[in-house]
Amino acid sequence: MHRIYFPISEETARTAQMLNSFRDYVPGSATAEYLRQCNAVYDAAEETAARYAAEKIIVQLQAKA
């Protein structure tokens, strides 16, 4: 599966962090978190697709038996 990512504005993330928290913004953290969450979804989708394909093959083999 081809993974598609959209750009994250680190400057906007830094500004939001400054307005909502007293903690310092770690540069690149918004992009890193976005990529982590996207990859978790892509991994789950690929795992589900592989499981579905395997189940489909088993059903087809059982039908031929």
Q: How far apart are CA 27 and CA 24, in angstroms?
A: 9
pLDDT tens for the 65 residues of the chain, in order = 799 999 999 999 999 999 999 889 999 999 999 999 999 999 999 999 998 888 888 888 788 76
Structure confidence at residue 62 (pLDDT): 82
- Contact call for residues 32 and 43 (beta carbons, < 8 A): no
